[in-house]
Amino acid sequence: MTHLTRITAPDGVAPAAQYAHVVTGAGRLVAVSGQLALDEDGTLVGEGDAGAQARQVFENLRRCLAAAGATFDDVVKLTYFVTDMAHMPAVRAARAAHLPDDRLPASSAVQVAALVRPEFLLEVEALAVVAA
């Protein structure tokens, strides 16, 4: 965890409330593709329920990070794709179960017209840096 530096308020930039503006670190880069609300059998979790989908997405992210020898403590950037910005409170709640407020990564949230299948409400991708 100590190999990352989070800057929430660079000079001349308004402080970030739900993310860090800048996260730096040295080590090995881990890129995790956008994760959807699919369980290990490929079955949708939480049809029509942004909270249930977000919890599954963050569980999938956790498993992908672990496969690369990383944890959420190593995450430097999260990108959220949501079909409705109204889903963001559910996404933030799921994120809070894995990332405390003092270790938030840089983040971007984008509302999209659709994801790969219409029943998906959100997708999240991650970048992490693992200490060398």
Q: Provide the CA 122 distance to its chain's centre, in angstroms.
A: 11
Q: Which amino acid is at 36?
A: L
Q: Rounded to two decimals, what is the model's pTM?
A: 0.93
- Reading the chain (132 residues) residue by residue, the pLDDT tens digits are 458 888 998 999 998 888 999 998 889 999 999 999 999 999 999 999 999 999 999 999 999 999 999 999 999 999 999 999 999 999 999 999 999 998 999 999 999 999 999 999 999 999 999 987
C-alpha span between 45 and 95 (Å, rounded): 17
Tokens of 74: 């190593």
**Cβ pair 62, 89 in contact under 8 A:** no
d(CA 85, CA 100): 22
DSSP secondary structure code for residue 57 in this structure: H
Residue 56, pLDDT score: 98
